[in-house]
Chain A
Amino acid sequence: MRIALFATCIGDSLFPQAPRATVRVLERLGHRVLFPVDQVCCGQMHINTGYLAEALPVVREHVRTFSPVLTGEWDAIVAPSGSCTGSIRHQQAMVARRYGDEALADDAQAVASHTYELSELLVDVLGVTDVGAYFPHRVTYHPTCHSLRMLHVGDKPLRLLREVEGIQLTELPNAESCCGFGGTFALKNADTSTAMLADKMAAVKTTGAEVLTAGDYSCLMHIGGGLSRTRAGVRTMHLAEILAAEKSTAPAASDAAVGQAVR
């Protein structure tokens, strides 16, 4: 398949390890990955903060950049993020409609119908759960809210993780409870956000895992920021990074100690 990658704005700028790992996994499975260079952002931050007028040009640019999927230039679009995929699927058309741009709304919906979160693409579209990964570490998985409740990815990420050679998966208590990130919520309601973060970190610690994984680097930035601050001894990695790891490339634990070691 020809798969267009939406790296997401924070994936591109702050956590390139996630889109890079996405490329590696898909290429290893024999697919062709393309990166439409005009891409920036889905508009979620503006939308969820209530700045819909400001979101509109961001949405328009996103839809324009990815509309070649409608003429068959690519077979699918993938994003290593549940919340960005959720925003594309459930919010972009609403923004366009609010400002009377029905054509944009229709295009947004059409592009969205070809856009998949990584675990959806792998399991539902490509029909694989064993992606040939090797990751001999103790890992716990946090299902991010939007992947869980907007996309309903269910246990797809876990099915992918269970097939990873050498992995020791441990169950996260109260896994479905929000980590407290919520985009600008973390700033606007910093105290409540921190209270939620504290409970999430405590749950992570009880698992004895050395790696916390999730399908969204935004939530991982939040939980990972807290784990780093408290020197908790748990590092965060995107689901794609674990799926991309191979015997030849599996990083030593110390390589990724503080978040970003780009390999």
Chain B
Amino acid sequence: MTTFLGVPLHRKPAPELSHPDPLRGSESFPRAARHELANTQLRANLAHATATIRAKRAQVVAEVPEWEALRDAGSAIKADVMVRLPELLAQLEDSVTARGGVVHWARDADEANRIVTELVQATGEKEVIKVKSMATQEIGLNEALEDAGIAALETDLAELIVQLGHDKPSHILVPAIHRNRAEIREIFLREMADAPADLTDEPRVLAMAARAHLRRKFLQSKVAISGANFAIADTGTLAVVESEGNGRMCLTLPETLITVMGIEKLLPTWQDLEVFMQLLPRSSTGERMNPYTSMWTGVTPGDGPQQFHLVLLDNGRTRALADEVGRAALHCIRCSACLNVCPVYERTGGHAYGSVYPGPIGAVLTPQLTGTTGHGDPNASLPYASTLCGACYEVCPVKIDIPSLLVMLRARMVDEDRSRRIPDGWSAAMKAASWVMSDAGRFAAAEKLTGVGRLVAGKKGRISSLPFPASKWTAARDLPAPPAETFRTWWARERGDQL
């Protein structure tokens, strides 16, 4: 096999998609965020849910004295995997094949969707059940199957709610975090044919209705599709971690299992799982131990699915891998701890990011997977969707320095724009500021202009209205009147002799 490590090519936004691009929204983050911020239900749900899970995570992480050493180990294992990815992938292919599985390679979403569709068609089935999976979200698999006349049923409760609501997931782990129980009841009554007529909005009642609905599907279905949290190169073992048991049903009951996995999900050896099985549950759901951990190695005669296909998905990953800084984003194990602590995500929710990967990790991963096509590309706005507060880096179980990656990507966006003939306001202002701020004489001269600010402020001592773009500031905040005397002037007057 070959892994492409050359100059990344830009993936142009496909103009005639029949379905929305799972990795690119239709408007920039600031615009999309404006709509989401006005959704009071979303704000209340997110504030409550993120605060709860943050506290839970903090508590169980604090119990582990060697947590920092575990993070270091997780980070080191992932860095090693990235460096040895081609050989490890070949090893995985050999191990899976030796145990009776079939390995397929998919360069991009279209190729992966075609492979999976053909595999399902070969079984003659028209309905498949699905384990919650980000990789299949990323490639829009359900929509592709639908186009081929195959119905894909999500079996993760929250994912089912999203699917029945004809909605998009807004969180990696808790895709229906933006919905409340009254909304879920409505969705079930409207979309789930076998929902009891007297359905209430009690969580237990809702869960039982979904359980009854899903149980029938588990027992009927001949084909299941999953993602994978980990794949072990030397044994060919795949692992899925989940907390409902619905994934376990999908992974064990059907005759055919098709797993779509990003190529970065690899671990070299079985022993490496030890580190991640400690890091992942505490980081993601705040649990000490993951409730349902399913592992399978190829095909076991007479037990579980008798056909196993593994589709290894690139879809922009080698593009990200080619960048030695940016590749750190591929270390991500999709725990979503960074979403839960992010003050931006907490307010805007996931839809504002326009990608199935929202939050801090989405802001660094999405533009790297897709590439960006310049200023107007919504994904070019993602690296700016952060105050660089650093909360994400602090909780990341594999120590991805997301703030530094964001800065690096901002620099890339700026550099891509340098070729534009007419610079925009930002770059003109930044160039001017650079000239002023690289010389104390020029800066001191510029400081004299703040006298204008004192005039604007007048007797009130504050500035409440300024023209664009400073109006973005004064829309919600005052500015104090500039001081009568800068520090520099005061120092020269008071301590001139000490120069």
Residues of B within 8 A of A12 (CB): 443, 447, 486-488
Interface status of B64 (Cβ within 8 A of chain A)? no
Q: Is the CB of A190 within 8 A of B483?
A: no
With A48-B407, A180-B343, A189-B384 known as contacts, the answer to whether A221 contacts B447 (CB < 8 A) is: no
Q: Is the CB of B477 within 8 A of A225?
A: yes
With A50-B407, A182-B387, A197-B477 known as contacts, the answer to whether A187 contacts B469 (CB < 8 A) is: yes
Q: From residue 57 to 88 of chain A, which have CB atoms closer than 8 A to chain B?
A: 57-58, 60-61, 65
CA distance A205 to B383 in the complex (A): 32
Interface status of B393 (Cβ within 8 A of chain A)? yes
The 0/1 profile, CB within 8 Å of B marked 1, for residues 27-66 of chain A is 0000000110111110101111111111101101100010
Q: Is the CB of A13 within 8 A of B447?
A: yes
Q: Is the CB of B343 within 8 A of A177?
A: yes
Q: Find the A residue at minimum CB distance from B435.
A: A57
The 0/1 profile, CB within 8 Å of A marked 1, for residues 470-487 of chain B is 101101111111111111
With A57-B434, A259-B462 known as contacts, the answer to whether A197 contacts B476 (CB < 8 A) is: yes
Q: Which of B384, B394, B439 contacts A40, CB < 8 Å? A: B439
**Smallest beta-carbon distance B170→chain A, Å:** 15
Q: Is the CB of A187 within 8 A of B472?
A: yes
Q: Which of A53, A194, A260 contacts B461, CB < 8 Å? A: A260
With A12-B447, A14-B450, A16-B485 known as contacts, the answer to whether A189 contacts B434 (CB < 8 A) is: no
Q: Is the CB of A46 within 8 A of B434?
A: yes
With A48-B410, A182-B389, A226-B476 known as contacts, the answer to whether A9 contacts B343 (CB < 8 A) is: no
Residues of B within 8 A of A177 (CB): 343
Of the stretches A118-126, A143-151, A156-164, A241-249, the one at the interface is: A143-151
Q: Is the CB of A54 within 8 A of B433?
A: yes
Interface status of B347 (Cβ within 8 A of chain A)? yes
Interface status of A155 (Cβ within 8 A of chain B)? no
Q: Find the A residue at minimum CB distance from B460.
A: A258
CA distance A188 to B239 in the complex (A): 41
Q: Which of B394, B460, B480, B487 contacts A149, CB < 8 Å? A: B394
Q: Is the CB of B384 within 8 A of A185?
A: yes
Q: Is the CB of B389 within 8 A of A178?
A: yes
Q: Is the CB of B434 within 8 A of A55?
A: yes
Residues of A within 8 A of B491 (CB): 35, 37
**Smallest beta-carbon distance B94→chain A, Å:** 40
Interface status of A11 (Cβ within 8 A of chain B)? yes
The 0/1 profile, CB within 8 Å of A marked 1, for residues 418-452 of chain B is 00000000110011011001111001000100100
Interface status of A196 (Cβ within 8 A of chain B)? yes
Residues of B within 8 A of A145 (CB): 387-391
Q: Is the CB of B390 within 8 A of A195?
A: no
Residues of B within 8 A of A193 (CB): 387, 476
Q: Is the CB of B464 within 8 A of A50?
A: no
Of A19, A61, A225, A262, the most chain B CB neighbours within 10 A belong to A225
Q: Is the CB of A229 within 8 A of B487?
A: no
With A49-B410, A259-B461, A259-B462 known as contacts, the answer to whether A35 contacts B495 (CB < 8 A) is: yes
By secondary structure, the B interface counts as helix
Residues of A within 8 A of B487 (CB): 7, 11-13, 16, 19-20, 35
CA distance A43 to B411 in the complex (A): 14
Q: Is the CB of A37 within 8 A of B438?
A: no
Q: From residue 163 to 209 of chain A, which have CB atoms closer than 8 A to chain B?
A: 176-178, 180-197
CA distance A135 to B33 in the complex (A): 42
CA distance A82 to B30 in the complex (A): 27
Interface status of A15 (Cβ within 8 A of chain B)? yes
Interface status of A89 (Cβ within 8 A of chain B)? no
Q: Is the CB of B472 within 8 A of A186?
A: yes
CA distance A93 to B391 in the complex (A): 23
Q: Find the B residue at minimum CB distance from A35.
A: B491
Q: Is the CB of A258 within 8 A of B480?
A: yes
CA distance A94 to B472 in the complex (A): 31
Residues of A within 8 A of B34 (CB): 191
Q: Is the CB of B437 within 8 A of A196?
A: no
Q: Is the CB of A37 within 8 A of B414?
A: no
**Smallest beta-carbon distance B452→chain A, Å:** 13
By secondary structure, the A interface counts as helix
Interface status of A215 (Cβ within 8 A of chain B)? no
Residues of B within 8 A of A178 (CB): 343, 387, 389, 391
Q: Find the B residue at minimum CB distance from A8.
A: B487
Interface status of B413 (Cβ within 8 A of chain A)? yes
Residues of A within 8 A of B498 (CB): 34-35
Residues of A within 8 A of B438 (CB): 40, 57-58, 60-61
Q: Find the A residue at minimum CB distance from B345.
A: A192
Residues of A within 8 A of B427 (CB): 51
Residues of B within 8 A of A45 (CB): 433
Q: Find the A residue at minimum CB distance from B342.
A: A178
CA distance A49 to B427 in the complex (A): 10
Q: Is the CB of B478 within 8 A of A188?
A: no
CA distance A54 to B348 in the complex (A): 31
Q: Find the A residue at minimum CB distance from B347.
A: A195
CA distance A47 to B404 in the complex (A): 10
Interface status of B4 (Cβ within 8 A of chain A)? no
Residues of A within 8 A of B434 (CB): 46, 51, 54-55, 57-58
Q: Is the CB of A229 within 8 A of B413?
A: no
Of A55, A94, A178, the most chain B CB neighbours within 10 A belong to A178
Q: Which of A61, A184, A258 contacts B439, CB < 8 Å? A: A61
Residues of A within 8 A of B447 (CB): 12-13
CA distance A262 to B443 in the complex (A): 21
CA distance A164 to B193 in the complex (A): 68
With A35-B491, A37-B499, A58-B437 known as contacts, the answer to whether A228 contacts B348 (CB < 8 A) is: no
Q: Is the CB of B430 within 8 A of A196?
A: no
Residues of A within 8 A of B404 (CB): 94
**Smallest beta-carbon distance A28→chain B, Å:** 15
CA distance A7 to B486 in the complex (A): 10
Q: From residue 334 to 388 of chain B, which have CB atoms closer than 8 A to chain A?
A: 343-344, 347-348, 383-388
Residues of B within 8 A of A15 (CB): 480, 483
Q: From residue 209 to 251 of chain A, which have CB atoms closer than 8 A to chain B?
A: 221-222, 224-226, 228-229
Q: Which of A41, A51, A260 contacts B481, CB < 8 Å? A: A260
Interface status of B292 (Cβ within 8 A of chain A)? no
CA distance A9 to B446 in the complex (A): 11
Supplied contacts A43-B437, A58-B437, A222-B477, 13 more A-B pairs, CB within 8 Å: A19-B487, A48-B407, A50-B413, A61-B439, A189-B29, A192-B30, A192-B33, A192-B344, A193-B476, A221-B480, A224-B480, A229-B476, A229-B477
Residue numbers of A with Cβ under 8 A of B are 7, 9, 11-17, 19-20, 34-35, 37-41, 43, 45-55, 57-58, 60-61, 65, 91, 94, 98, 145-146, 148-150, 176-178, 180-197, 221-222, 224-226, 228-229, 257-260, 262
Task: Return the 7 tightest CB-CB contacts between A and B, nearest first.
Answer: A182-B387, A50-B410, A225-B477, A259-B480, A149-B390, A54-B434, A16-B487
